Structure 1
Amino acid sequence: MTRPPRETGRLTEVLRTCIGCRERADKTTLVRVVAARESDITVVTPDLSRSLPGRGAHLHPTARCLELATRRKAFGRALRVEGPLDLTRLSAMIDEATPAE
């Protein structure tokens, strides 16, 4: 059974799994991240245009999912990279997206 086309023109939702909470969601509600190698450290970079090269992983843009993914060491496994990871760009993007209470 197919769903009626939405405003995107797709017949069905494209689902991805958040590496933090492990819940499946439509990919438009998740942030794609990629690993970018810079000198001796790998930087986890948000891919807002969804077009950067390389292996991607998806994450809800919430502090809770970021914390869960960091605690579970999910970024290294999902992106298939080893060594230290710099999450400052991703953390800053999530902090900006989260409304202040």
Structure 2
Amino acid sequence: MGCRGTDSWSALLRVVAATDGDLPGNAPVHLRPDPRHRMPGRGAWLHPRPECLELAVRRKAFGRALRLQAAVDVSAVAQHLGVQHP
């Protein structure tokens, strides 16, 4: 998604939007890493590299891939990859 490259599904990290129930319209959606590819919901696939995460954030690709209108919080994904993200 970030680098737009293709790879086998086993080499990619699946990212899903967390559903916390009643979210206000302007609240950011929290993205969660799904390394076991088991969480329910629509997923976006990402190479587990910091460069691909940065490209995806810069291009705002998570919102498009997951069909989200709200802002996205990628801090859990960045922590999973060991990247410092504001």
TM-score above 0.5 = yes
User: Percent of counterpart pairs with the same letter?
Assistant: 45
Residue 57 of structure 2 corresponds to 70
Residue-pair matches, total: 78
Give the secondary-structure state (helix, strand or coil) at the position aligned to 1:46.
strand
Matched, 1:31 2:13: yes
Residue of structure 2 equivalent to 1:7: none
User: Which amino acid counterpart does residue 10 of structure 2 have in structure 1?
Assistant: T
Q: Residues 2-23 of structure 1: CA distance to partner in whole angstroms, max 9, x if unpaired?
A: xxxxxxxxxxxxxxxxx10001
What residue in structure 1 maps to residue 76 of structure 2? 89
The RMSD of aligned alpha carbons is 1.3
Provide the C-alpha distance between the structure 1 equivalents of 2:36 and 2:11, rounded to a whole number of angstroms: 13
Gaps of 5+ in 2: none
C-alpha deviation, 1:94, in angstroms: 0.6
Q: Which residue of structure 1 lines up, in the alignment, with residue 3 of structure 2?
A: 21
Which position in structure 1 is the counterpart of 2:36? 49
Structure 1 unaligned blocks of 5 or more: 1-18, 97-101
Q: Which runs of 4+ in 1 moved over 2 A?
A: 37-41
Per the normalisation by structure 1, the TM-score is 0.72
How far apart are the structure 1 equivalents of 2:65 and 2:71? 14
Paired with 1:49 and 1:85, the residues of 2 have a C-alpha distance of 22
Structure number with the higher strand fraction is: 1
Q: Distance in 2 between matches of 1:25 and 1:73?
A: 21
Q: Secondary structure at the match of 1:34?
A: strand
